[in-house]
């Protein structure tokens, strides 16, 4: 049963689909996918082409827009849009600490989660596309990890695509997770330096908070253990357009005087809990490094291992001298599964995934070199989350792919200036610019 309803300027329809858990076993176990159809209210009865949106992540459901927010308004000028909650996210069959024990123990949970990568998401799209479009190819818009999925789509099932649009999500085709993080840490360091140049007062504020965490045990209201490494991971904010300002406002009111002396303010702790908790997107932590795995090499907690090659990120060493505390960014570490109550029951599952050695390739370089689908990609110069050099190498490897390289935006450019970014990519894909 489908249900339609209205928001300002749009008509929404909820859809639910049943797909195989393992597409190599179509008669086996199934899971449910949820997607929200959006069409402009003045185009409800028009025969429009479809655009399916693949959100960033991994582990995040599609955005819950109100009306024509962000890039959606531009898309609705000519498309019906399908906002898909990728498997395990949003309102699709969930995968989290509450549901994964239904699979069995950690080994069974880890086996289950190997089916939650880009290749399975692409096959989900192909399974539901005939039901949505009647069999016609559709346009895909992939943001961040959604762009990784789009490159997999071009590799695995290009016949399903009319056009491919990618924002901040051109992956390296053959890089191991170690290569990704060796490129990432210097980039993160540049972002932190830029933040301190903008807000020099934050150097002392961040050092003071870190010193407090090194000498006090802090448990946030929701049960999150706030260690200094967890505090440093707030640097993920620096990858968004307004993130530096948000981090500054967070740091400026961190402490309050109490009868026992200075303590971290309740308001600060509440905000940090919301920023650091994985309760709403545990798949991000569980399969994040697996999105880079394509052969027999285990990921083996790559971000943690590679971080040791960059001693300037060691908080204790920074505080022992006069160096500023360096924040970190988009990386997953084993200590997260001790800090976060949403992840603690899944620690052994995560360990098994990190040790896995039977990952399948996600991209087909030969097929990408022969690509015939119009493809356009926005590459954000010095994107904190996706290495620019890796993205441009992939752009050269995909036949006919056109890039727009810009330093006007951070990783969330399509959210900040959606009509312009999406419009530019559509024009590139159509050869209009």
Q: What is the pLDDT of residues 73-119, one digit of tens each?
A: 999 999 999 999 999 999 999 999 999 999 999 999 999 999 999 99
Task: Measure Cα distances from 99 to 93, 282, 321, 346, 350 in Å.
Answer: 9, 11, 46, 11, 15
Per-residue pLDDT at 63: 95
CA pair distance 332, 350, nearest whole angstrom: 10
CA pair distance 300, 278, nearest whole angstrom: 20
Per-residue pLDDT at 329: 86
For residues 413-428, one letter each, b for 16 or more C-beta atoms within 10 angstroms of the residue's C-beta and e for the rest, the string is: bbbbbbbebbbbbbeb
Q: Name the β-bridge partners of 60.
A: none
pLDDT, average across residues 150-179: 98
pLDDT band at 258 (very low <50, low <70, confident <90, very high): very high
% of residues, the chain, pLDDT over 90: 99
CA pair distance 357, 349, nearest whole angstrom: 15
pLDDT digits (tens, 9 = 90+) for 345-382: 999 999 999 999 999 999 999 999 999 999 999 999 99
Tokens 């904190």 map to which residue?
A: 384
pLDDT above 90 for 140: yes
pTM over 0.95: yes
CA pair distance 213, 69, nearest whole angstrom: 39
pLDDT band at 170 (very low <50, low <70, confident <90, very high): very high
Q: Half-sphere exposure (CA, 13 Å, Cβ side) for 397?
A: 20
Tokens 């989900």 map to which residue?
A: 124
Is the sign of the CA dihedral 194, 197, 200, 204 positive or negative?
positive
Neighbours of 256 (CB within 10 A): 12
Give the active site residues. Answer: 144, 358, 411
CATH topology of domain 3-174+363-429: Rossmann fold (3.40.50)
- In this structure, are residues 189 and 314 in contact, taking their beta carbons and an 8 Å threshold? no
Supply 274's token pair: 């919301």
CA pair distance 429, 29, nearest whole angstrom: 38
Which contiguous run of DSSP H or E holds residue 287?
Answer: helix 282-287
pLDDT above 70 for 164: yes
pLDDT, average across residues 241-259: 97
> Which ranges constitute the DSSP H helices of 10-87?
72-76
pLDDT band at 1 (very low <50, low <70, confident <90, very high): low
pLDDT band at 330 (very low <50, low <70, confident <90, very high): confident
Per-residue pLDDT at 338: 98
**What residues contact residue 344 under an 8 Å CB cut-off, 6+ apart?**
97, 337, 338
Task: Measure Cα distances from 418 to 69, 72, 161, 295, 423 in Å.
Answer: 8, 7, 22, 36, 8
pLDDT above 90 for 2: no
CA pair distance 161, 138, nearest whole angstrom: 5
Which contiguous run of DSSP H or E holds residue 376?
Answer: strand 375-380
Neighbours of 316 (CB within 10 A): 10
CA pair distance 232, 220, nearest whole angstrom: 15
Higher pLDDT pick, 3 / 214: 214
pLDDT band at 301 (very low <50, low <70, confident <90, very high): very high
**Mean pLDDT across the chain:** 97
Supply 300's token pair: 């083996």
Supply 44's token pair: 């409800």
CA pair distance 387, 287, nearest whole angstrom: 19
**DSSP assignment string, 33-55:** EEEEEEEEGGGTTS---EEEEE-
Task: Measure Cα distances from 242 to 253, 254, 372 in Å.
Answer: 18, 19, 37
pLDDT above 70 for 253: yes
Q: Where are the domains of the chain?
A: 3-174+363-429, 177-355
Supply 13's token pair: 């329809």
Q: Name the β-bridge partners of 40.
A: 10
Tokens 């998401």 map to which residue?
A: 121
% of residues, the chain, pLDDT over 70: 100
- In this structure, are residues 312 and 326 in contact, taking their beta carbons and an 8 Å threshold? yes
Enter the DSSP assignment of 107: H
CA pair distance 360, 154, nearest whole angstrom: 16
């Amino acid at each position: 049963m489908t249900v339609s309803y209205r928001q300002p300027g749009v008509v929404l329809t909820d859809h639910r689909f049943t797909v195989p858990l393992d597409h190599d076993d179509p008669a086996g176990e199934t899971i449910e996918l949820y997607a929200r159809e959006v069409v402009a209210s003045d185009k409800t009865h028009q025969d429009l082409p479809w655009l399916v949106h693949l959100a960033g992540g991994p582990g995040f459901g599609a955005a819950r827009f109100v009306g024509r927010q962000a890039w959606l308004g531009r898309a609705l000028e000519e498309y019906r849009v399908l906002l898909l909650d990728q498997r395990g996210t949003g309102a699709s069959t969930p995968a989290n600490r509450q549901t994964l024990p239904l699979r069995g123990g950690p080994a069974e949970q880890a086996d289950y989660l190997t089916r939650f990568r880009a290749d399975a998401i692409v096959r989900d799209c192909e399974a539901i596309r005939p039901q949505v479009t009647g069999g016609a190819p559709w346009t895909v818009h992939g943001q961040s990890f959604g762009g990784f999925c789009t490159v997999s789509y071009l590799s695995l099932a290009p016949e399903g695509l009319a056009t491919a649009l990618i924002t901040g999500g051109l992956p390296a085709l053959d890089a191991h997770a170690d290569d990704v993080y060796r490129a990432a840490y210097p980039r993160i360091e540049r972002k932190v330096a830029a933040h301190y140049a903008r807000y020099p007062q934050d150097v002392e504020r961040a050092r003071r908070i870190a010193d407090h965490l090194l000498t006090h045990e802090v448990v946030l209201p929701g049960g999150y253990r706030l260690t200094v490494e967890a505090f440093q991971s707030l640097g993920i904010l620096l990858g968004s357009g307004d993130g530096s300002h948000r981090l500054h406002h967070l740091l400026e009111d961190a402490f309050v005087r109490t009868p026992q002396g200075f303590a971290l303010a309740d308001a600060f702790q509440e905000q940090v809990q919301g920023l650091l908790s994985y309760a709403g997107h545990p798949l991000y932590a569980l399969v994040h490094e697996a999105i880079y795995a394509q052969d027999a090499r285990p990921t083996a907690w790559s971000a943690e291992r590679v971080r040791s090659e960059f001693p300037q990120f060691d908080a204790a060493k920074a505080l022992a001298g006069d160096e500023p505390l360096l924040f970190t960014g988009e990386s997953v570490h084993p200590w997260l599964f001790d800090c976060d109550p949403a992840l603690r029951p899944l620690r052994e599952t995560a360990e098994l995934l990190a040790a896995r050695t039977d990952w399948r390739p996600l991209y087909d370089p030969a097929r990408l070199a022969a690509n015939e689908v119009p493809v356009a990609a926005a590459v954000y110069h010095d994107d904190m989350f996706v290495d620019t050099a890796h993205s441009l190498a992939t752009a050269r490897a995909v036949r006919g792919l056109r890039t727009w390289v810009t330093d006007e935006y951070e990783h969330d450019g399509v959210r900040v200036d959606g009509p312009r970014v999406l419009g530019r990519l559509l024009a590139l894909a159509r050869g209009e610019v």
